[in-house]
A = this chain, B = another copy of it.
Amino acid sequence: MAAPQPLNRFRVVLSRPGIPGNIGAAARALKTMGLSRLYLVSPKHFPHPEAESRASGATDVLAAAVVCESLEEALQGVSMAAAFTARRRELALPMQWAREAATTLTAAAAQGEVALVFGNETYGLSNEELALCQLPVMIPANPEYSSLNLGSAVQLMCYELRMNNIDPGEAPASFGELATVDEVERMMAHFQDAMQDSGFFNPDNPKRLMPRLRRMFSRIRLERDEVNILRGMLASFQHPERFRRSED
C-alpha cells in the first residue's frame, strides 16, 4: 500500500477509543484519503470483529495499527501533534479550525512527523492529553449539536489533509467535444431561419425571441454532437418531406 509520500508523514492517534466499530471506521477513513498509519492508545476492545467489519476494504490499515499504552508512547518521534476537541476549552494555546489547521500541519509535516489526536467518544481528550499537543483544532459545527461521530471526524480531517497535499487534478470532464463559437452562431442563424419559415419569428417584430434563445443556450456549454442534433431537428421542421419515411 504505497501511500503518496507527503501523507506518510501523518499518523492518526485514537486515544482510549471505546467503540470498536469506530476504530474500523477510522481505518477506512484513513485509507480512502491515502493515509495509512493508525495508532491506538489503550483501546477498550481490540482486535474486534466489529472493527474488522467497519474497516471494509481497509483491514490492512487496521492490521498495521500500532497499539500503545500511553499517548506519550504514541507521540514518540512526532514534532507536532494536533488535538481535536469539540468544545471551546480554557486552553493556553490558540485554536485553529480544521481547514486552517490542515495548512499548518502540512507545513509542519515538511519538517517532521505530525500526529492527529482524537479522544474518547464520550470524554474527549483529558487535560493531560491536551497538554502533550501543540495545536488544538476544532471542526466548525452546529453550535447546538457539535458532536461528530469519531469516524466522521477522522474522515473529515484526513480529507482536509488530502486536499492540502494531493492535487486531485481537473474534475473528469464531459466526454463530448465542445462546439466552437462559430458553430453555435451558425446554429442560432439556423434557428432564426427555421422559425421565420414556420411563421413563429417575425423579422419585422422580432421581440426578444432570439436573445432569449441565445441566453438559454449560453447557460449550457453545447457539444458539437448536440449542435448537430439540433440542426438536424431544425432541418426536419423545415423540410419534413426529406425526412418522412415513404409510407409502407
Contact = CB atoms under 8 A, between A and B. Distances in A.
Given A90-B175, A171-B97, A149 B155 contact: yes
B156 A95 contact: no
B145 A175 contact: no
A148 interface: yes
A180 to B, nearest CB: 18
Given A94-B174, A100-B171, A173-B94, A140 B155 contact: no
Contacts of A1: 144
Contacts of A168: 97, 140
Interface stretch (A29-37, A111-119, A184-192): A29-37
Interface string A117-150: 0000000000000000000001111101111110
A99 to B, nearest CB: 7
Contacts of A92: 174-176
Interface stretch (A71-79, A158-166, A210-218, A230-238): A158-166
A56 interface: yes
A23 interface: no
Interface of A: 1, 3, 25, 28-29, 31-34, 54, 56-58, 88, 90-97, 99-100, 138-142, 144-149, 151-152, 155-156, 159, 162-163, 166, 168, 171-176
24 contacts: A1-B144, A25-B149, A28-B147, A28-B149, A31-B145, A32-B141, A32-B145, A33-B141, A54-B149, A56-B147, A57-B147, A58-B145, A88-B172, A94-B172, A96-B171, A138-B171, A138-B172, A141-B162, A148-B155, A149-B151, A152-B152, A152-B155, A155-B155, A156-B159
